[in-house]
Amino acid sequence: MIAIVVGAGINGVTAAIELKTRGHKVTLVDPGPLPHPLAASTDISKAVRAAYGTDEEYMAMARRSIELWREWNEEFRLDLYHEVGALFMRHEEMRPGDYEYDSLKLFERRGDKAERINSAQLRERFPAWNAEQYHDGLLETEAGYAESGRVVATLLERARSLGIDLREGSRFSRLDEGGDRVKGIVLDGGERIAGDVVVMAAGAWTPYVLPFTRNFFRATGQPVFHLKPHQPDLFAPERFPVFGADVSTTGYYGFPLNRDGVVKIANHGPGREMSPESSKRVVTAEEEKQLRAFLSETFPALARAPIVYTCICLYCDTHDGHFWIAPDPERPGLVVAAGDNGHGFKFAPVLGKLIADAVEGKSNPLSEKFRWRPEVGPRASKEAARFLPEL
């Protein structure tokens, strides 16, 4: 089989590697430069956690991914994944129906490692937090973050070493359709690339390059801030794990001090719908004002820290919050792999296998969950809110 994969972010590069490993001829197409500077995958960090409320399928998939992240560290001889834990605190006591409470109970039922944290423990163990404001929460000890940009760069090198035809600098224009099926793609400039199957892994570009998917996906922008703390010791990984601060309410989450002395904090809310290449893809003054108010309440030592970098991270959202990894029943030869809703990168070690199964028509335990489902519309968006941002 000849497979064309459009988009060399985390979905595309893992799919290309897995398809090549299974014996297929693979062409990976991306406008570049790679890693693409506007892609959601190209960032300093993405959280890796298994806390998923009551959803045991995602929890199990995340637990498997964490095992494979550890293996990738050994295989590539790089510290791509940092197992520093993930702390989710709430203003009030956790109750059934809360993301944190439901996650903790599912961890306990499965025998996975997690512990409940109260305000006294928070004050003693994680002193950057304002323990007067946060009273109950969950510490997931086997969790952490991946250096996402480095991960994508490393996997691209693996793709090249496997002999994948990497067409960096090639921009997708449209599908090449004929004879009642998709038979390849057409690039800007008119060049055609023929293949037996096209895998669209274009992330937030998907509803723009495939306009018929706009009923299924929306690209939403979320603000991201990098801060330089005046007291860096407070934000070292051993005292400041990956966090969610009453995230179901506030939307704020973040990461410990990285190798460059930067703390990354972002917000996931309704977002602003926009094209990935929009001129409005900048953090607003109001978003910065909201961040400062949050920091004053939650991490006082960061309240006046200088912001050294900002960006808008684009998600490709489905209306029900689940991945969309499936062949198009109306366009034989097309498989769409999208809909990360901000929680995709943590699953990088298993994504390629899921996408390759869809290409080969193989079922797996998640095929039904990630199927082609045009019946899911905007009414499901509230339910999708339970999938928390890049966490």
CA–CA separation, 298 and 283 (whole Å) = 21
Is the bond preceding 33 in cis, omega lying within 30 degrees of 0?
yes
What is the per-residue pLDDT across 247-304, written as a single tens digit (0 to 9) for each?
Answer: 999 999 999 999 999 999 999 888 899 999 999 899 999 999 999 999 999 999 999 9
Tokens 């090449």, residue?
Answer: 176
pLDDT in tens, 241-259: 999 999 999 999 999 999 9
Distance CA 391, CA 378 (A): 23
Q: Alpha helices, DSSP H only, in 96-217?
A: 99-110, 119-125, 148-161, 206-209
CA distances from 42 to 36, 84, 151, 189, 256 (A): 6, 21, 9, 27, 18
pLDDT tens digit sequence for 103-125: 999 999 999 999 999 999 999 99
pTM: 0.94
Q: Which domains does the chain have, with CATH numbers?
A: 2-384 (3.50.50.60)
**Distance between CA atoms of 83 and 130, rounded to whole angstroms?**
24
The sign of the dihedral angle between the CA atoms of 79, 202, 283, 391 is negative
Q: Please report the DSSP string for 345-363 in residue order.
A: GGGHHHHHHHHHHHHHT--
